Structure 1
Amino acid sequence: MAEKNFFKRLIKKLRVRFRLVIMNDSTFEEKFSLRLSRLNVFVVSALISIFLITLTVFLIAFTSLREYIPGYGSEKEREIVYDLLLKSDSIESDLNAIDVYFKNFFTTIADDDSSLLVSNYLAFSGNKSTEISENKNAAGLYFLKPINGNILNPFNLNSKHFGIDIIAEKGSVVNSIADGIVLFSDWTLSGGNTLIILHPGKVISVYMHNFSVFVKQGESVKTGDPIAIIGNSGENSSGTHLHFELWINSLPVNPENYISF
């Protein structure tokens, strides 16, 4: 009962009418008058608020004013972002393809009768095919250190670490360990900027995680030629270093057994 009386009193108050009068201050002549109630004022204020909110939403949604909202961005910026997304997808596909090629490459050279290895070797050595079979242990070959530095992680077949990790000062130059021909010079997901060089005697040297490389696939290099800058590229790198591998007769060997570091 009390609540019912409260609502009756509230409605009665809302319906009480007031007169808004505008008068001439000098003559007290009535210029304008308007009869209002609290309910009228509330309804009109609500309608005006709804109209303003609707107008604001419309302007933001269908005009260029939305570009001024922090974080929204302009139409041109969204086009740039969309293009970058397409390019990043394309780059990712290319990197995956290169990574597959890189893995297939080592699968190929693991075969002693690899036609790819023999054909590249013949192109470099001038058809001296006898050296492939006669120099099985790379006896008598001289290998230069690829870089001056300290060995961080040694060669370990059990953990499938087929090379050694050498740390050196940032910006240090990586050199070719011997005369050879570049079989691979590109980016891989795991190894970053990677170089693979074929040397006489069925010897292959691998240089990974470089900051940049100086030679391209198919180029010939001489012993001591600068071929790259040490870096930290690739998913398998956690700091500036050179991952160096040495393959002889299609098998990975410990570089420390052939090179004095």
Structure 2
Amino acid sequence: MKKKINKLKPFIQKMRFKYRVSILNENTLEESWHVRLSRFSVFMFGSTFIVLTFIILTILIFATPISRYLPGYGDSGNRSSIIRESMRADSLVQQVELQEGYLDIVKGIITGKMSPDSIASLDSIALKERAKILLQKSKKEKEFVEKFEQEEKYNLASIDTKPTENSFVFFRPTRGVISSSFNMSEKQYGIYLITSPNESVLSVLGGTVVYAAFTFDFGWVIQVMHDNNYLSIYKNNTRLMKKVGDEVKAGECIAITGDATGKKTGQQFYFELWKLGKPVDPEEVIIF
């Protein structure tokens, strides 16, 4: 132990040994300034200078705009702002496209350049053919009817001359595949369907058209009021076939949906069914 201490003494003495640093006048060789320094003091001054420099640079980088000019360093606030502005710009572009489409339709109607309708008119023969198609039962419908007839064959209590809610036969609003179902928790009060181009939209029940207009959010929208306080809403249509006040029958064509070019624009047909101000799950009363 003493040997180790003896070995350290020369090192400690060397570190503490002071040197005189003088500055001389070159012409007169007079001493202008001097300072006494040891190796230890030089080490301490150097370490302190490095630490202070690091602290000052850190403050400059994180607390001043100088960080924006450093390569590879980005401001998270600027990034979120850029993303937000990009989303707003994209939304504005969509709104402008919808507005331009609406103005083109209005301009065509005013100038008379737009044809009355690109869809062939539905004559009596076409209506009969459509009625046959609508009356064709699917495999599930046939199985349900057979099962129901067997269960209710001898049930006299089921005979009732008064119409009830279950006695309403709802037509399918349009042909398509359900892409998003009714979800009350997520405030989705209807269903989205992927349809073919220029697909007919049918009234689910007989009633009166109470709303028919173009909106920026859902394109052409039409609403029909039915008996027993039912209200059906049809959104994302490309053309309306009825106007406010028109009487419609169950299964009658009231609008056209689906992009005529066949492109998937993301605007899927949207259908809602309400009763007494409360949403009804369409899949519970309509067979799609």
TM-score (norm 1): 0.45
Q: Please identify which structure carries the higher helix content.
A: 2
Higher relative contact order (CA 8 A, sep 6+): 1
TM-score (norm 2): 0.41
| CA radius of gyration, larger in | 2
